Amino acid sequence: MLIMAGMNRPASARAQNGGKAPPSRPTLRRKAAEDKSKNAAKDAAPRLPLGEEIITRPTFRRERSALKRGVWPIAGCDEAGRGPLAGPVVAAAVILDPDNIPRGLDDSKRLTPQCRAVLYERICARAQVAVAMAPPARIDRDNILRASLWALARAVAALPEKPALVFVDGRDRIDAGCDCQAVIGGDGLVASIAAASIVAKVTRDRLMACLGAAHPGYGFERHMGYSVPEHFEALDRLGPTIHHRRSFSPVAIALGELGLGNFADADDAIADVLPL
């Protein structure tokens, strides 16, 4: 005898369900499973304080995609020191080994000095690395943007192996002698650019520490040449060194040379003193 689900249930159960037959056991089990799955998904989702964003980490995805198309070697490049009043712009280019990528790569600005130092050693031990610098004299002659792009191109050219593709941080491509792709925010997205940002930052910080020892009183080893009160006070008290960028307005003021004739245009006079 075939019995329809719910038809043999007492009338009281139907009355409790608004006159309708209660759901069958298979339906209840399915609903319970769906609720359990939804709750598990909620627990797995990251919970952040209101207003905070999920921070993405650099990946090797773009390099891997190009590698699958037969494109190799692939370099990432980045620079450090566009904003300071003193010291060079330091550019680095890195070709990572796809089978031996250091863990923890990230935008150098998001890492502590201790983490940067550890990753610097790992990158130099496992990857092809080259560094180039644009000195203050070149920055004053060409402006900070052109000098930075020049240093980046020099770093790529100095790699032990010529790359077939170069990823560069920012919106401007460089003359790399091969295909070049500019990636805005690349140091937080592309693993090879992140590695280059770490190498450039650590190299420049160590150089500025040496300049601090050679020129006591300026605090280069602490502020790395950036526009901070300690640096302004030293400029007023001691005057600029040969490592200062004469085309940057605080230095030009200290030299008594401030004038729009020192700059390509008025906007450069403002932009050049802002950390980038």
Q: How far apart are CA 189 and CA 76, in angstroms?
A: 11
Calculate the alpha carbon distances from 26 to 18, 30, 171 in Å. 20, 6, 58
Q: How far apart are CA 265 and CA 270, in angstroms?
A: 9
Q: What is the pLDDT of residue 256?
A: 87
pLDDT at 258 over 50: yes
Running DSSP on this structure, what letter comes out for residue 263?
S
Residues 6+ apart with CB under 8 A from 48: 54
- Residue that is written with structure tokens 């130099």 in the block: 124
What the block records as the tokens of 132 is: 């180039």
Q: What is the pLDDT of residues 211-228, one digit of tens each?
A: 999 999 999 999 999 999
Q: What is the pLDDT of residue 260?
A: 42
Residues 6+ apart with CB under 8 A from 43: none
Confidence of residue 77 (pLDDT cuts 50, 70, 90): very high
Q: What is the pLDDT of residue 6?
A: 42
Among positive and negative, which fits the CA dihedral 63, 69, 73, 76?
Answer: negative
For residues 22 and 8, the model is more confident at 22
Sheet bearing 89-95, strands edge to edge = 128-134, 89-95, 74-80, 165-169, 179-183
Q: Which amino acid is at 64?
A: R
Q: What is the pLDDT of residue 56?
A: 82
Q: What is the pLDDT of residues 9-37, one digit of tens each?
A: 444 545 455 555 555 555 556 666 566 55
Among positive and negative, which fits the CA dihedral 138, 143, 144, 150?
Answer: negative
Confidence of residue 139 (pLDDT cuts 50, 70, 90): very high
- Residue that is written with structure tokens 């090797």 in the block: 60
Q: Which amino acid is at 10?
A: P
Is the domain spanning 61-210 CATH 3.40.50.300? The answer is no
Yes or no: say if 155 and 92 are a contact pair by the CB < 8 Å rule.
yes
Residues 6+ apart with CB under 8 A from 229: none
Q: What is the pLDDT of residue 19?
A: 56
Q: How far apart are CA 11 and CA 18, in angstroms?
A: 11
Strands 74-80 and 165-169 come out as: parallel
Residues 6+ apart with CB under 8 A from 226: 83, 84, 85, 275
219-236 exposure pattern, b = at least 16 Cβ within 10 A, e = fewer: bbbebbbbbbeebeebbe
- ∠ CA 268-202-85, rounded to 5°: 25
Q: What is the pLDDT of residues 118-130, one digit of tens each?
A: 999 999 999 999 9
What the block records as the tokens of 75 is: 């370099």
Residues 6+ apart with CB under 8 A from 270: 249
> Quick check: pTM over 0.85?
no
